[in-house]
Chain A
């Protein structure tokens, strides 16, 4: 069935380090792909999305490229800040219905 697999955390980095959080998916057809972020005590917020192969989603310095050949949507940021500490969820929508399938989340800690 359709699924999302993302790297387990927690991921701990120093401020200004380069960030990569890996995400791969299994789905038929051409799903829409998303990254959501959850700050402590809050709900999830849509961070970025891509709807077709080779699209690059970007927001707040974060980027992710829809790679159909490797079924991946890795999240990257060139220089992380303490304020980026949060849980990050990779997700997909198969386009067959409105349901979004989430990965289990990756907790990110940024040390000053």
Chain B
């Protein structure tokens, strides 16, 4: 039972490069989301999805794209990386029951943009 799997764990990008952060869950969760964690800022919601084919913006969506073609996968795309996107990124999932069960988190991707 893998839970939520994020890849890669670490990545260094040059300014202007693009990349995709992968997130997969095997719990048949309908709800998936991406957060970024920065010192002193807590967790900020980037994008979320309530089911396959449905995505929506969170608090800080600029510079990021998502898609949800299957229940299991929710990749996050950085279109043109900027130093301000240096952060730790977490994917989370849950049953779609109003959040009462809480989230299961992946172990994170530490991204550095130089």
Contact = CB atoms under 8 A, between A and B. Distances in A.
A52 B89 CA distance: 31
Contact of A89 (B31, B43, B96, B97): B43
A104 B107 contact: no
B103 interface: yes
A43 interface: yes
A43 B52 CA distance: 24
Interface residues of B, number: 26
A100 B43 CA distance: 10
A42 interface: yes
B103 A46 contact: yes
Interface in A1-38: 32, 34, 36
Interface in B85-114: 90, 92, 94, 96-100, 102-108
Is chain A's interface secondary structure helix, strand, loop, or mixed overall?
loop
Interface stretch (A62-70, A75-83, A91-99): A91-99
A99 B90 contact: no
A98 B43 contact: no
Given A104-B42, A105-B42, A98 B107 contact: no
